[in-house]
Structure 1
Amino acid sequence: MSEPIENWLTDMDGVLVHENQALPGAAEFVERLTQSGRPYLVLTNNSIFTARDLAARLRASGIDVPEERLWTSALATAAFVSQQLPGGSAYVIGEAGLTTALHEAGYVLTETDPDYVILGETRTYSFSSITKAIRLIQGGARFIATNPDSTGPSSEGPLPATGAVAALITKATGREPYFVGKPNPVMIRAALNRIDAHSESTAMIGDRMDTDVLAGMEAGLRTYLVLTGSTKAEDVERYPYRPSEVRDSIADLIELI
């Protein structure tokens, strides 16, 4: 018999919100977690925004998540490189979410002989910054990317995202990046450490089989796939792994708290 769920990790887009609108049961789920005192974190591969920005975005949709309960791929990347090489330096392509996290981790951002080239998400990828990254990697900088997502959503349709730009840099340099965000279980393990949780008593909720469920499964968590985002019920059979359970939405999980 499995242990009761004492701690929760949940994806954000497709689970709690969709295009800045709260999904059914999301606000109630978070409120129940808060009232119960159960440790939890909201995880996102989005590296553009700071935790404070994302907390404000969720609040505007009616979901009250304090910024300390948000764990982004930018924060996970900053934690990873600061553990690997404390007080290092990096050339960064990204937005405030990533640069702020790295500054707070004690990193120096530089274009001159950096220890790392760190690629995050931005809506303004420039040819000159990508060229600079390629030359620095060829010169010996280690290549890190916040997450492997190849596209991101917008009101006009999909946009190229970190994974797509990483592939371009890899093609030019022959160097693969180390992706820190989901599905890398490193991001999940860091989240567990942040709330002092054990995998045996923690569950992961997500809307994607290839990131959320895979990362949770590889980190030894119970996994709940909800059908309010990217993965549809008929898609599940195509994968060589399964979530612990499939639910229609996060509203169906409130009873478990």
Structure 2
Amino acid sequence: MIAMIADQFETFLFDLDGVVHLGDEALPHAVDSVNRLYEREKRIRFLTNDPRPTRETVASRLRELGIRVDEGEIVTAAWAAAVHLRREGVATAAAVGSEGLQTELRQQGITVTDESPDAVVVGADEQTTYADIRRATRHIDRGAQFIGTSPDGAFPTPDGPAPGAGAIVRAVETATGTSPTVVGKPEPLMFEAALEGLPVGQNGVVIGDNPATDIRGAHRAGLTGVLVADETPVAASARDFAHPDAVIRSLAGLFSRTATPWKSPDYSWPEDIRPGVGAVVLNESGEVLLLKRADRERWALPTGTVERGEAVVEAISREVREETGLRVTVDRLTGVYSHPKQQVFSYPSGETVHFVTNCFLCSVDGGTLEADRDEALDVGFFDTDRHPGGILPMHPRWITDAVEGTTVTIA
């Protein structure tokens, strides 16, 4: 017998608006389905990106709908931000947003102050003003950590969309030129806070109505994602983290449908996609130029990104010259590579980028071979079929395609 979703998982993380209720009204089958999970002694958490209410306020609203929820099962963006700061050992913080946000910070032992705070937590409510944005900007300029409660630029209302916390977060980001640590969905920090105190390795599932925040966030956190929707959305690729593991029309589907458990791939979800260039540079002896990159301490072909206003041929010539001191002639395009398994890179800064790399076969045209210490630890020429140990895994393929191929390779 095939196990239903309600039987497959022990921990259930529910989005609220659009899943459990719509406005002030419970959605069909929602209350009965959640209470059936309680009867089965499932662990339940309710997640919202709204940074305005306290957890007790949200719990009270759910109890009015008939769900027997405890305050400790509520995860708001404000509470998750406070938990994150507590984990980081932050003692003082300024707050942009509601009294509920300030309450959650204080309950985690964080002093709310505008006197040289260690951090600034940016949310939003109906009273947020230009003065609040200016206040946050000045604290960050003086060295305070920048924490954003939610990335949501807007939220729906009966009268149309209203600016969300993400709109204020981006205003502060623009003013400071500083990227925030964002806590709310789809960032993993929200889900990590939700799972705090639960048994390690708990089998968990996220139930949401938004593929971009609920499902993508679940997958970034290593959790299965079930979408509540009338139809299955069409993703650009089956590898898109927003592609749900199951689709149900209402929460009653937890007891009649099954989900394929999420298996995290061996790459992170990228925040950005960029054009890249790579060079297979051969000398007169037919040896290939490799450098040991300082950012990874691994051997690699010369690679880089395309700058604004720059042709790809100009970009690869510049990258080779800057990294190795050599001038090259670009002979031909040998491959275009974009598969995420090989072309998604996570950097120490926390940034994750998906590159679409145009690779060229090049020949040496002059210059003196030397390593740029900002980019490379070592540089030299090697046999094309005998590479040094520790070379980036996709680069042997690129070398083979360039040396042996007669047509452009696309992978």
TM-score for both structures, normalised by structure 2: 0.58
Structure scoring higher RCO (CA < 8 A, sep ≥ 6) equals 1
2:234 & 2:94 partners in 1: Cα distance? 39
| 2:220 is aligned with 1:218 | yes
2:255 & 2:72 partners in 1: Cα distance? 22
1:200-251 residue CA offsets vs partner (Å, 9 max, x unmatched): x111100011111011111221110001xxxx63644246231111111112
Identity of aligned residues (%): 35
Per the alignment, residue 45 of structure 2 pairs with 41
Per the alignment, residue 162 of structure 1 pairs with 165
In the TM superposition, residue 4 of structure 1 has moved relative to its aligned partner by 2.9
1:68 & 1:158 partners in 2: Cα distance? 30
Structure 1 residue runs without a partner (length 5+): none
2:81 & 2:213 partners in 1: Cα distance? 16
1:217 & 1:28 partners in 2: Cα distance? 27
Structure 2 residue runs without a partner (length 5+): 259-411
TM-score for both structures, normalised by structure 1: 0.91
| 2:182 is aligned with 1:184 | no
Letter in 2 for 1:168: A
1:34-92 residue CA offsets vs partner (Å, 9 max, x unmatched): 11111111111111111111112122233332222111111111110111124x11110
| 2:257 is aligned with 1:253 | no
Q: How do 1:80-119 residues align onto structure 2 when only pairs under 5 Å count? A: 80-86=84-90, 88-119=91-122
Answer yes or no: is the 8 Å Cα contact 2:83–2:108 preserved in 1: yes
Per the alignment, residue 28 of structure 2 pairs with 24
Residues 208 and 197 (structure 1), Cα distance of their counterparts in 2 relative to 1, 3 Å cut: farther
Relative to its length, the structure with more helix (as a share) is 1
Per the alignment, residue 6 of structure 1 pairs with 10
Q: Determine which of 234, 237, 240 is the counterpart of 2:235.
A: 237
Answer yes or no: is the 8 Å Cα contact 2:227–2:246 preserved in 1: yes
| 2:91 is aligned with 1:76 | no
1:132 & 1:121 partners in 2: Cα distance? 13
Alignment root-mean-square deviation, CA: 2.1
Mark the structure with the bigger radius of gyration.
Answer: 2
Q: How do 1:53-68 residues align onto structure 2 when only pairs under 5 Å count? A: 53-68=57-72
Letter in 2 for 1:233: E
Answer yes or no: is the 8 Å Cα contact 2:80–2:183 preserved in 1: yes
Residues 15 and 63 (structure 1), Cα distance of their counterparts in 2 relative to 1, 3 Å cut: same
1:157-186 residue CA offsets vs partner (Å, 9 max, x unmatched): 211111111111111110111101111112
1:107-150 residue CA offsets vs partner (Å, 9 max, x unmatched): 11111111111111312111111111111111111110111010
Letter in 2 for 1:237: A
The number of residue pairs the alignment matches comes to: 251
